[in-house]
Structure 1
Amino acid sequence: MNVIKKFAAVVALGLVSFGSFAAQEVGTVQVSGAETLGAFEAQVAAKAEAAGATSYKIVSATGGDQLRGTAILYK
Structure 2
Amino acid sequence: MKTIKYAVAAIALSTLSFGAFAAEAVSATQAQNMNKIGVVSAEGASTLDGLEAKLAAKAEAAGASAYSITSANTNNKVSGTAVIYK
TM bucket (normalised to shorter chain) is 0.5 to 0.7
SS of the residue 1:69 aligns to:
strand
Given residue 50 of structure 1, which amino acid in structure 2 is its aligned partner?
A
Instruction: Tell me the matched-pair count.
Output: 54
Q: Which of 54, 72, 75 is the matching residue for 1:43?
A: 54
SS for the counterpart of 1:53 is: coil
Alignment match, 1:70: 81
Report the aligned-residue RMSD. 0.9
**Residue identity (%):** 48
1:26 aligns with 2:41: no
Larger Rg: 1
Deviation string 1:18-60 (CA, Å, 9 cap, x unpaired) is xxxx310000011100000111000011001100100000000
Q: Which residue of 1 aligns with 2:64?
A: 53
Moved runs in structure 1, 4+ residues, more than 2 A?
Answer: none
TM-score when normalising by structure 1 = 0.68
